Structure 1
């Protein structure tokens, strides 16, 4: 187990508020691409079904209906330390994520206000469970619950033994079986909160790429299940968080389906496999893997995600008179941290996080979309970056080369 606390490791990569802001920027960018002029408030940007609808369109399934986003976000919730689905229409509104996570043959149904006293009893246990988590592991709770937008409590007789679940297709939504003990709620929020944290990290940081789909599968020793790389990393991350939480619970009574006693052993098994397959992971995922395993001596000096620019450049002989323009279908959003996410209204849409130099280049079209020459940009870069012209030219060529390759900018003089 890492000598560093979970929240410290996550914060060294990106603090929770900054990560939430970056995730919101991605969804706002998508809405700007699909429904220009539509505003997405924080509440809408965080809503699991709004995010499901946007993700569905990002995957190329249908069109985005702004009215649909407002309608699903109107679902009534109750505050129990986390928002709990309470609307009698929740079964209909949550039908897609319920279908996705349902065990074979099961049709999970959420408890709602329509269930009267049964729902109220569950709400009391949920509220006690949230308070217990905040008491036992306050900093972990603050870190993970930032990514839990909604909780839905399932009728135990309908869940098929689900215990708890979440899905990257409806991120922010945590499903739990009707709890009997506050600790069941606390453990579920750590387990699924870790998954929700991972979903956001995978959106905003350098974790996995398309090659992950072709990587080896991990086979669990305890069930012989085969997991693809993304599921393997998510499981390792959740078990690692559960293992740290287990160290803080003291004599608290555990639920009958608790994984806390098994968490450390399983995290170790999965982590060892991931370590042997770390070449299939991107830079931030590798860093987090090593940090959780205690392979990192210092957290200080941690840099933000490495450059997305992959070294594809223009010819070193690029002339200062060459012109560049921002393609007309390009949209972008700037986060509070200064990171920029950019997208094109293509099918399927293409969305990229830019490094600092590429963000700077894109910013040259902030006030107008007129063509800019390389020489004009070079003079500004040399002055603003406070470096010599030769170094600025090399960095500028790298950034422009990547922006050309991804069809964010174009040039009438470059093929």
Structure 2
């Protein structure tokens, strides 16, 4: 097959890396790609990935058999709809399915209709109504911009002043159109866990568990980011909790078939869960692979990713066969100084080859590019995802940080506590 992957982050590098291993794959293209995908595929830097017609034209001109859509924006823009109408197989839901991520209000209504456990909430299109509901609910609470905000439109407000500021920021245009509607939720307590599933024809094939670290700084402090690290599996999840999460994912998948949606959902459904004292509750659904969860899930996948994605794209869920290794995976994100705020680009990156020489280490690129001297340089907030596999959690964690020490660029920023709470057990969240 000839495969086109849309996106430029660590998630897309990880997917491209996994697809590259398949004997079914003849040619790989990534649009726009990054410094890492350039080494294993052909980067297409001039393709506007939110433009369905442009992507369809490229696919036809290059005999593309499968398009894999990485980020949420092209999904919400309906790129999958245009490609399918043009006869191209697509891994990724249509625009309606993507609303499970594109609109938090839509997602909440979906959960309520299917009796999926989630936080109490209200959705508001005026600041006055949102403030009134927030005061009625009381802090702590969670304020969410309804639309896509690159993972940064969510504020956990510990007091009413923070909640008021977050609501004002949404309606004041901080998140653009994404904040024109605001969802306010009760603040659930407990550890978080991500469970992703391959979904097609109303059926879900669940992957292995993973846990992201959203906050910028050690001790889960600071602003939310796109993710500063992850690990898989999640050792604190009890068997009954995992069973409950899998049942939720299957129930959600049944709600995405062609009977309920204009087209059945074909792609990844991401379930973000909170393990509350009352059982797992859904914090959010996403319509694509998580980032950086993908970077710890796919290195544990022993099945052929190209086979899986094609089966999903063609609506053949019974042909999806998942096999996983028993290793632990830990990912540490190396970010630019100042992230998730403003940061400089163009810092030369050294030491990746030395890091990848360590047993079980793979470095997935996120915000990287080549400069005029063909040097690898920083080109984004999250720069690299350093992933290590190990027979134990401790081995994987130690190896990941050993690899991080070998990589250098000016202003390198990272969290040094990825996975620490999980290593201490469930009591670390009490």
Range of TM-score over shorter length: under 0.3
**Hey, which of these two has a bigger chunk of strand by percent?**
2
TM-score when scaled to structure 2? 0.25
**Hey, which of these two has a bigger chunk of helix by percent?**
1
